[in-house]
Every structure is written in structure tokens, then in C-alpha cells.
Structure 1
Amino acid sequence: MNSSWSDAWRLLRIPFSLFLMPIFWFALSAAPEVSAGRAVAVFLILHLLVYPASNGYNSYYDRDEGSIGGLKHPPKVTQTLYWLVLIFDVLAVALSALLSWLFAGMVLLYLLVSKAYSYEGIRLKKYPLLSTVVVVIFQGAFTFAMVQVGSGVPEDRILSTNNLLLALVSSLFLCGSYPLTQVYQHEEDSRRGDETLSLKLGLWGTFIFAGLSLLVAAGVLFYTYWRRDEPWHMLFFLLGTGPVLLVFSRWLYQVKQSLAAANYENTMRMNKVSSLCMSFSFFIILLWQLWRG
């Protein structure tokens, strides 16, 4: 594999796509009566094709010189990346169609929206509020529903009030975590003219906004678990995500001591801990559901 293809593969950032796992496990834990085979297929399509294609397309138009999610020193962008992204797009939609046409349509819509986020002719990324709304809806509630559709959850179950409340929770969690991923990119975003939400809020505003959003998300989550008569799920979530609160508090203290602590390394640590802990929590909830039958 020549350097052009090797660099293109790196810019797909497939390992970084695994940070979006919590939505998958959350969606399944909300409706565990699904086909295991279909669920595995959905996981592979999303995390090995859809998310990497979105990452690669974003890199193609951003042409970052500084650190990006999952790559501290990104390689130079070449035309090879563009064609590799298109290959991943086609594979994602084609394989999704084998599960259901509705799932394939949702995957296609997700891919198109992710391109509108970065494409220079539209570039939703330039608009702080609009881009945030788009990201939290499509990476949150829309993906939550997409996982359930692909995994074979009945339509009436997907559209039930409690399930829609959990879909809302997924967007609220994204609303809190998304601006935090932008705190170390203020300088580069300003240079490109991308007025991100974090840049608009400022450093401390971003942390306050994130904390409030995550608090509201947890509140709605516990309310919905109460409506569903699932008190054990609250306990599993609290125990599983305890480290997230500790890491977030420690990071906040470090930033208070020195603004330089709002850097790539700490952002990725926060991202990794929150992703793994939330995935673990929802995975345990899923196992509990399956064990109870």
C-alpha cells in the first residue's frame, strides 16, 4: 500500500469511530428483543463504514494541520481519500439494503447530512447553532432510531413515548459532549472561519454548557427509567459512569489552574473515558434485560 492510500486509511479514523458506541448499546438496551445477527451487522456497518466515511469526508474538506479527533498528527489529504470515502459510502448503503430499505434510506440520509456539515458549498460547520442542532439530532436521536430499525425493532416500539424519550436523551448527551470535543481547536477553527459552538461560548462557557446539558440528559434518562419501572437501570448507569464525573471534575480543575489544560490529550482522555463508561453501562443494562427475559 503506497503512502497515499495509507494516509487515506488513517484519516478515516476507524478506531475513533468506536467513541460513538454508546448510542448503539443505548438503543439496544432500550429494546433488547432483536436479532443478534442483525444487531452485529448494524454495528459493523455504522462503525466500520458509515462513521469512518464521515470522518474521512470531514478531513478531506478541513485539511487540518493541527490535531483532530483520534489523530494528534494527521497526514496530508490527497484525492485518494475522496475516492476511499465514496467506496465506503457505497458499501454502507448497499449492505444496509440487505437488512431493510428503510435502514438503507436512513444510512444514506445520515451520510448526506454529514457531508453537508463539511462540504465547502454548504459547510454547516460554519454556523454554530445550526451545526450543533444537526449533530445532536443525527448522531443522537436519529442514530438511536436507525440502530433499532436496522436491528429489527417493531415500528410501534420505536415510536412509543418512552422510547422517544430515550432517543431524546441520546441527543441531550451529545449536546453536552459535542462542544467539549472542540475546545482545543479554537485557534484552527477561527483561522478557517468555522464559528463553532465552543468558540462562540468560550472556554468556560463550553464547560458550563456541557455540564448543564449532561445534567439535564441524566435527569430525563432517570425520569424515563422511572416511567418504564426500571430502577436497576438507574443504579447501573450511576455506577458505570462514576469515572466520567471524576475525570470531568479533574479536567475542570486543571483548566482552572491553567488554560493550557484544554488541550488535545485531555479532550481525547475525556472522550475515551465517557465513551467506554457509557458503553459499559448500557451494555450491562442490555445483559440485565436479556437475563431477565
Structure 2
Amino acid sequence: MLHPSTIQLLRFHFSLFLLPVYLFAISQVPTVDFTKAIIIFIILHFLVYPSSNGYNSYMDRDTSPIGGLKNPLQPTRQLYRITIIMDVIAVLTGLLISIYFSVGILLYILASRAYSSRQIRLKRYPVIGFLTVFIFQGALVFYITYIGTNPSTDLYAPILPCIISSCLIAALYPLTQIYQHKEDKDDGVTTISYLVGKRGTFILSMCLFLGATFLMYLFFTQRHEMNIWFRYLLIMLPVVLFFLTWMRKVWISEKEANFKNSLRMNVIATLCTTIFFVTLILFKP
């Protein structure tokens, strides 16, 4: 019988915040193997991401709000065992896709463990922790999804979308840390958000989002698809408006840098990017 805290701390719903990278990769594959696409979706969103969430919660033992949870329960040893089982299943199931995909999943899991583990704890280093998320949640996930759903045995994947994926993930990442400065510092963790400050967090996220937008422009102009770039700008408008409104509030009072607003930012950004990437899939030439 699973303990209530085990189910809660796996945070299956939080995995949806990483859905856009998967959808972006699917949208760029010339001919998608939909059977493999479904298997990859299950591996990522029902095994790898929840396991990563659970392992992080087991190591952190948070008592204050964390990503997607306002009142986290305390983990039990069962959670740790479940994460190991999920990881093993993910790597073995990945072999149904290819050995390369399975190795990619293993690399993601190892990076996730190194990020959270008390022995290594990459997250306590602001730049290294940031780069770990930038590379593995963005570019690596795009890459393994792309080669995994592509019937071709070629291991090539377009570089620009990999970097765009990393920029989009990295733009939101500091905003998920902005309300946890004290808790993280008490735990010996110096996040990128703490390093640059609350105002600096918004500036950093803005630069990353603008970088992603510029790379989108380069990517779609190279393919003579400027109409898609304009579609991107239109769909992302609610994200920009909420971001600027929230930033203005934090400039007036840093109390506005709280869990509630951070969650809203995540939901709006995820919803809008998901809609955009779904349109790319539905209206693929």
C-alpha cells in the first residue's frame, strides 16, 4: 500500500510543466513513430519526472511550499524505494525505443540524482545547478525524444531547437526558486535566484526568454516560416503580460515573490507553450 506522502511527493501533476519540451521535439520530427511517441511520453511523465520529484523531496524533506505543492508531507523510506523501482523500469522500458534513448534516460536520472543527493548536491552550487537543469531538462530531453520518435536510425537532431528548449526551461527555473531563498539557504543551498536576488531573478528570466524568442526567430526564418514565429509571439502574449505585471509587483513589494504567483507563472507559461507546440504538431506541413 502506497503511503499518502509517497503519492503526493511524486508530484505527477508537476511533470506536466515539462511537457512543452516533449511536444516541441515531436513537432520537429519529419515522420513521427506514434507508438514510440506514446511510450516515451509514459516513460518521461509517469516514471522519470515523478521519480526525480520524489527523490528530490526525499533528500530535501521540505516543510514549506515546493514546486506544485503548497503543503508537502514528510517522505518515508517507501518513497526512496519507489523512485529506484521507477528508474529501473524507465531505463529498461527505454530499450523498447533504442539503446541510445535508454542511455539518455540513464544520463538524465544520474544528473537528477547528482543534483539532489546529499553526497553530491549539485543544486547547492548556483551556476552548476542551473546548468544541470538547462542541459538535461531542456536539450537532452528534446534530443532523446527527437531521435526516439524518428523512424530513422540517424542520431542527428537539430541544434537550435535543443538550445531553445533549454532556454525555455531555464527561463522558468529561477522563478520557481524565488520564494524559497531562506529555506534553501538554511539547507546550505545557494540557488541561482538567491545569487542574483529577487529583482535579478526577473532580469535573468527575461534575458533567457528573449534569447529563446530570438532563437525561435532564427529557426523559423531559416525555414521561411515567419508566420509561425508571429504565431509564437501571439500565443505567448499572456505569459509576457503576467510576467511584467508580477515583476512590477515584486519591484514594489518583494512579498509578491511568493509560491502563489510562482505557480501561476508556471501554469500560464506551460499552458501557452503547450498550445503553441500543439499547433506545430497539428499544422505540420
**TM-score interval, normalised by the smaller of the two chains:** over 0.9
Which residue, 193, 198, 222 being the options, matches 1:198?
193
SS of the equivalent of 1:193 reads: coil
SS of the equivalent of 2:32 reads: coil
Distance 1:258 1:236 in 2: 34
Report the alpha carbon displacement of residue 228 of structure 1 after superposing the two structures with TM.
1.6
Q: Does the 8 Å CA contact 2:29/2:150 hold for their aligned counterparts?
A: no
Deviations 1:49-106 (A, max 9, x none): 0000000000011111100111100001110110111111111111111111111111
1:123 alignment counterpart? 121
Which residue, 230, 236, 239 being the options, matches 1:241?
236
Deviations 1:146-192 (A, max 9, x none): 11122125365734xxx101111111222221111100110100100
Structure 1 128/283 Cα, relative in aligned 2: closer, same or farther at 3 Å? same
1:80-229 aligned at under 5 Å gives the runs 80-152=78-150, 154=152, 156=154, 158-159=156-157, 163-229=158-224
RMSD: 1.3
Q: Percent identity?
A: 41
Report the alpha carbon displacement of residue 109 of structure 1 after superposing the two structures with TM.
1.0
Q: Does 1:18 align with 2:16?
A: yes
Structure 1 residue identity aligned to 2:177: Q
Distance 1:227 1:38 in 2: 29
Higher helix share goes to which structure?
1
Which stretch shifts more, 186-195 or 148-157?
148-157
Q: Does the 8 Å CA contact 1:251/1:261 hold for their aligned counterparts?
A: yes
Distance 1:98 1:171 in 2: 26
- TM-score, length-normalised on structure 2? 0.97
Structure 1 157/184 Cα, relative in aligned 2: closer, same or farther at 3 Å? same
SS of the equivalent of 2:167 reads: helix
Report the alpha carbon displacement of residue 17 of structure 1 after superposing the two structures with TM.
0.5
Specify every segment of 5 or more residues in structure 2 that has no aligned partner in the other structure, as ranges.
none
Distance 1:192 1:91 in 2: 31
Distance 2:107 2:155 in 1: 22
Structure 1 112/236 Cα, relative in aligned 2: closer, same or farther at 3 Å? same
Report the alpha carbon displacement of residue 205 of structure 1 after superposing the two structures with TM.
0.6
Deviations 1:7-52 (A, max 9, x none): 1111000001011011011111122411111111111110110000
Distance 2:151 2:191 in 1: 36
Deviations 1:213-259 (A, max 9, x none): 11011001111110122222212211221110111111112212221
SS of the equivalent of 1:98 reads: coil
Distance 1:31 1:233 in 2: 16
Which stretch shifts more, 171-180 or 120-129?
171-180
Distance 1:155 1:243 in 2: 39
Work out the number of aligned pairs and report it.
285
Q: Does the 8 Å CA contact 1:176/1:211 hold for their aligned counterparts?
A: yes
Distance 1:155 1:231 in 2: 30
2:38 alignment counterpart? 40
1:1-80 aligned at under 5 Å gives the runs 1=1, 5-80=3-78
